Amino acid sequence: MKKILFIGAGSMAEALMQGWIKQKVFTPQEIYVTNRSDKERLHFLHETYGVHCVFDPAIFQQADLIILAMKPKDAIAAMCDLKPKLTAHTAVLSILAGIAIDTITEFLGSRPVARVMPNTSATIGMSASGIAFNNEVSADQRILFLQLLEAVGSVIEVDEDQLHAVTALSGSGPAYIYYLMEAFERVGTKVGLSKDTVRLLMTQTLAGTAEMLKQSLDEPDVLRKKVTSPGGTTEAGIQALEQYQFNEAIEACIKEAEARSRSLANG
The 10s digit of each residue's pLDDT in 78-133 is 999 999 999 988 999 999 998 999 999 999 999 999 999 999 999 999 999 999 99
What DSSP state is assigned to residue 194?
-
Of residues 25, 224, 210, the one with CA closest to residue 128:
210
What mean pLDDT comes out for the span 177-199? 97
| Percent above pLDDT 90 for the chain | 89
The 10s digit of each residue's pLDDT in 233-267 is 999 999 999 999 999 999 999 999 999 999 987 76
Question: Looking at residue 40, what is its pLDDT?
Answer: 92
Q: Which residues of 212-231 are buried (b: 16+ CB within 10 A; e: fewer)?
A: eeeeeeeeeeeeeeeeeeee
DSSP states along 94-119? E--TT--HHHHHHHH-S--EEEEE--
HSE, CB side, 13 Å, CA atoms: give it for residue 220. 3
What mean pLDDT comes out for the span 4-20? 94
Question: Looking at residue 88, what is its pLDDT?
Answer: 85
Counting Cβ atoms within 10 Å, is residue 183 exposed (0-12), middle (13-18) or buried (19+)?
Answer: exposed
Q: Where residue 56 falls among pLDDT bands split at 50, 70, 90?
A: confident
Q: Comparing 51-65, 91-105, 132-146, 162-176, which segment has the lowest mean pLDDT?
A: 51-65
The 10s digit of each residue's pLDDT in 27-43 is 999 999 998 888 899 99
Q: Where residue 190 falls among pLDDT bands split at 50, 70, 90?
A: very high
